[in-house]
C-alpha cells in the first residue's frame, strides 16, 4: 500500500511537471490501488472481531466481501481509465514528449512494485509453505494476500512491457498515439 502511495506521488509530480493528462490518469490509478490496499486492511481488521450474538461464527468471511469490493474497484476504475485514455490517444495522435518523466516513473514504479511483490510473496509462502505454486493458489484461504500478490505481479508485468517498448523516432509516426507518455 505504501508502495502504491509512493508511486502515485511520483506520478503526480511527473504529471504536474509534464502537464501530461495520461500521467495524471496513471496517478489516479495508483491512488485507486492505494485505496484498494486500505479496503483490504479494513477487511482484515474486521475479520479479527470476536463472535457476537449476531455473528456466532465470527466475522472471518467478511474478508471475502472486502476483497470482492477491491476487485470491482480495480476493474471499474483501472479498466475504465485505461479504456478512456486508450481511445483518446487513438483519436488524437501526436508525437511522444516528456520521455524523461516517463522513464523516471517507470524506474520508480519498478522499485516500489518489486518491493511490494516480494513482501506479498513472502506472506503468500508463509500461508502455504509447501507444494507447487499452482497448488498453493488453489488452496489459499487468505484472499487479501493473494489479491495483493496478483495485483503486484500484473503491475510488474505492465512495467516490463512499458520498459521494453522502444519510443518511436521523431521522424516516424508514434506507435501508441500518445504525446504525453511512453506506454504507461
What residue ranges do the domains of the chain occupy? 2-164
Distance CA(112)–CA(164), nearest Å, equals 18
Candidates 2.60.40, 1.20.1510, 3.30.1380, 1.10.3470; correct CATH number of 2-164? 1.20.1510
Distance CA(167)–CA(177), nearest Å, equals 11
Express each pLDDT in 126-184 by its tens digit. 776 577 777 777 777 777 777 788 888 888 888 888 777 756 544 444 444 444 444 44
Which residue in 4, 52, 58 sits closest to 31, CA to CA? 4
pLDDT at position 9:
92
pLDDT at position 172:
43
| Average pLDDT of the residues of the chain | 78
Amino acid at each position: 500500500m505504501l508502495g502504491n502511495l509512493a508511486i502515485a506521488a511520483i506520478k503526480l509530480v511527473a504529471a504536474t511537471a509534464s502537464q501530461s493528462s495520461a500521467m495524471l490518469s496513471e496517478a489516479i490509478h495508483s491512488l485507486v490501488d492505494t485505496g484498494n490496499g486500505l479496503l483490504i486492511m479494513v477487511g482484515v481488521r474486521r475479520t479479527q472481531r470476536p463472535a457476537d450474538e449476531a455473528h456466532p461464527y465470527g466475522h472471518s468471511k467478511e474478508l471475502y466481501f472486502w476483497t470482492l469490493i477491491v476487485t470491482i474497484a480495480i476493474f471499474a476504475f483501472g479498466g475504465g481509465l485505461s479504456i478512456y485514455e486508450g481511445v483518446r490517444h487513438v483519436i488524437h495522435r501526436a508525437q511522444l514528449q516528456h520521455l524523461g518523466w516517463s522513464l523516471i516513473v517507470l524506474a520508480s514504479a519498478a522499485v516500489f512494485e518489486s518491493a511490494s511483490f516480494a513482501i506479498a510473496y513472502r506472506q503468500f509462502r508463509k500461508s502455504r509453505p509447501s507444494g507447487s505454486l499452482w497448488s498453493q493458489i488453489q488452496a489459499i484461504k487468505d484472499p487479501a494476500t493473494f489479491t495483493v500478490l496478483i495485483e503486484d505481479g500484473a503491475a510488474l508485468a505492465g512495467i516490463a512491457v512499458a520498459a521494453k517498448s522502444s519510443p518511436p523516432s521523431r521522424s516516424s509516426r508514434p506507435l501508441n498515439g500518445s504525446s504525453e507518455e511512453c506506454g504507461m
